[in-house]
Chains A and B, each alone.
Chain A
Amino acid sequence: MLLHVRRSLIITVIFFASLGLMYPLTETAIGQAFFNHQSNGSLTQFGSILVGQKWAGPKWFQGRPDPYNPMSTGGSNLGPRSQALVNDVAKQIKILKNEGIAPTSGLVTTSGSGIDPDISPAAAYAQVDAVAKARGLPVAKVRQLVTNHISGAQFGFLGSPYVNVLLLNEGLSTLK
């Protein structure tokens, strides 16, 4: 019994040093050396392309109605028979309609992370008319901007096509 305890203590310390320090620190060195942009958070001048932000419409393309607090991630966890969810979605539908945007399921629901940086191509196209009008830009130009920002499913089949809202709005800010 005491022998088991002694061995357990020794191996716990060894695991802590090797798996808990050497392994992650080596990975960190590799990440910092070869994938510096990604491993530090994929930051641009305006934010992280992996963390959504609140964009008030219709001068900007807006993302999903997430709380966008990266220090407190997670979904709303409201169930499919929740009255609170019915109310939240109804409110969002009303906001979008007032801005002249046809609601899509992504634009009226919150995500799993609470910081979803993307919208579907359909959700981006649905906002084209409203954004073009608010900015006084030609609709065709804005539509082309959206088309240029669509990322397809990876290798053509992994995941779903999406538009990154931060990159799209960065593009929009330079559009004349």
Chain B
Amino acid sequence: MSFAWTLTALVIVLAIIWRFLGKYMASVYEGRVRWASFIERPLYRLLGVDPESEQSWQRYATALVVFSGIAILFTYLMLRLQGYLPFNPQHLPGVTPALAWNTAVSFVTNTNWQSYSGETTMSYLSQMGVLAVQNFVSASVGIAVAVALIRGFSRKGSRTIGNFWVDLVRGILYILLPVSFLAAIVFMAQGALQTLAGPAHIHDVLNGVSQTIPRGPVASQEVIKQFGTNGGGFFNANGADPFENPTGLTNFLSIVLILSIPVALTYTFGKMVGSIRQGVAILTAMTIIFGCWLAIGAIAEHQANPAVTAAGLTHQTSGNMVGKEVRFGDTSSVLYNIASTQTSTGSVNSANDSYNPMGGFATMTGMMLGEVSPGGVGSGLYTILLFAIIAVFIGGLMVGRTPEYLGKKIQASEVKLATLGALVMPITVLILTAVAVSLHSGQVGPLNKGPHGFSEILYTFTSVTNNNGSAFAGINSNTAFYNILESVGFILGRFAIIIPTLALAGTLGAKNVVPASLGTFRTDKPIFVGLLIGVILIVGALTFFPAVSLGPIVEQLTTKKFF
């Protein structure tokens, strides 16, 4: 019953956020919000940027790639030099090269895959000054790309798609930082850590136990990790750690923060293209997919864990509690992990690896659909718009006329770019998984045996290429082999989708608008929503069904057999 209330509260809160944050973001990226211009203007002067002058898609993309490259380099060096830098009360040494490389690329691409345990690897400076900064920056880059694509639809005959530097700064200054600042205060009040003092040593005279308790500036990092759909935890246990996510309220707020921007961007989209109904259509498709996957996960985790049953506990009243926290219970745990895997967040408040087979299926395949329901900040919207272009193209083929979307003719070059953007992810995931399962260095990774071991590898490459970062965490991926192979997934999954998307923004922006006629396929009607969901599901199923069959599906069908 309390789950029904949680869902109701979530829907109401997100509806309000959708309306108001969505409208606000449109104003931010159209340059109408100016309350922090006293910070903005000197900053542009320092950078030598004229905020009024815009860039072609090529210049926009070049700036984005160069900036991300510098960010990777900076992050890498700071992690390597950690031992010589301040805010390091545990005197942790520099991070090893392969791990520093993996972590740098992972955080800059909004993935936040973590091959390390924060509590014993990263100094406070590395956490707050290096990794958390990328949480802001990579999120702002993602939103910028989505906004550039929206401009492609909303403009006519335009040679420019915006100014990368302005979009980057405005996203952080007007959206990400203010919300994080306030949310962090709530998290601290609830019990999240926020201190620069080193670990606490305690001795409990009642039971004779001594403990070393790690601490750090957690709350400030926790909120942007959720709000920017990054997902990298301060501690290894991530959102399951009571210092990161202490209560039912912080758990709920985490879910709200994760979903806020991706959901609200559909309003921003509708607002900027001049028809909120177009945004509602996209949001409806996202919501239906999210609801179905949540149902699969929630039902699966409400069942008993087969291994616990086999051990002799036949009466389990609270669902599968392996890898879950008591204060959340089974349903709030699933809701969090589904929200986290249907966006590009990847933070977890319970161990995906210990989910029942269909629960693991739900988190894994949620990513395999391309993270579009509602997807990461920015990346969710631009990826589903690629699918929307494919959907109107297929719709056009059915009736035999040139497809249009939002008044723009969809021609060969647009369809090629959209298809390229939609297929990079599945191709990369399947090839990297195939490489890992074929080589000895890959085979030694998984903790579990049997089909679950295969799931751990498949999940890894699905997660890294979708820039998600969650894990079937039993896998030992802190090896040179995995650290480097994963970085291929991070980069292709990020930039090989962003560049075609920006190219698409360029070609669409240059086109003129054809007025809608009687024969125009309406993209704000249920039939389009159905077609869009169909395209997403069919592309996902055709590419991934064989691989998933070998993992969670065969695991679900196996009975009375343990590995």
Q: Which residues of A contact B (CB under 8 A)?
A: 1, 3-12, 14-16, 19-21, 23-24, 26-28, 30-32, 34-35, 38-43, 46-48, 50-51, 53-56, 60, 64, 68, 70-83, 85-90, 93, 103-106, 108-120, 122-123, 153-160, 162, 169-170, 173
Q: Judging by beta carbons under 8 Å apart, are A40 and B71 in contact?
A: no
Is A153 touching B473 in the complex (CB atoms < 8 A)? no
The CA of A14 and the CA of B48, in the complex, are separated in Å by: 14
Is B311 positioned at the interface, with any CB of A under 8 Å from its CB? Answer: yes
Contacts of B62 in A (CB 8 A): 1, 4
Closest Cβ neighbor of A32 among chain B residues: B195
A112 to B5, CA, bound (A): 24
List B contacts of A11 (CB < 8 A): 47, 67, 165, 168-169
Chain B nearest CB, measured from A85 CB (Å): 4
A85 / chain B contacts, CB cutoff of 8 Å: 305, 307-308, 311, 322, 354
Tell me, in angstroms, the Cα distance from A130 to B322 when the chains sit together: 25
Could you say which residues of chain B place their CB within 8 Å of the CB of A56? 207
Q: Would B322 and A15 count as touching, CB distance under 8 A?
A: no
In the docked arrangement, what's the CA distance between A62 and B348, Å?
26
| Contact present for A73 and B129 (CB under 8 Å) | no
Given contacts A72-B117, A105-B308, contact A20 B74 (CB under 8 A): no
Which of A4, A39, A111, A113 is packed against the most chain B CB atoms within 10 Å?
A113
Chain B residue nearest to A35 (CB atoms) is: B188
- How many chain-B residues does the 8 Å CB contact rule pick out? 126
Q: A8-B70, A51-B213, A109-B308 are in contact. Are A160 and B326 (CB under 8 A)?
A: yes
Tell me if B322 and A109 are in contact (CB < 8 A): yes
Let me know if A89 and B237 touch, CB within 8 A: no
Known contacts: A75-B237, A159-B329. The answer to whether A55 contacts B207 by CB under 8 A is: yes
Q: Can you name 13 A-B pairs with beta carbons within 8 Å?
A: A1-B62, A6-B48, A26-B181, A28-B220, A42-B246, A64-B326, A75-B322, A75-B350, A77-B448, A78-B474, A83-B562, A159-B251, A159-B327
The 6 closest A-B pairs by CB, nearest first: A159-B248, A160-B329, A112-B240, A77-B474, A158-B248, A75-B351
Least distance between A42 CB and chain B CB atoms (Å)? 5
Please indicate the chain A residues that have their CB under 8 angstroms from the CB of B192 in the complex.
38-39
Contact yes or no, B237 A110, CB < 8 A: no
Give the CA-CA distance A153 to B310 in the complex, in Å: 31
* Chain B residues, CB < 8 A from A109: 305, 308, 321-323
Closest to B130 in A: A20
Q: CA A47 – CA B310 in complex, angstroms?
A: 36
In angstroms, Cα B80 to Cα A121, docked, is: 47
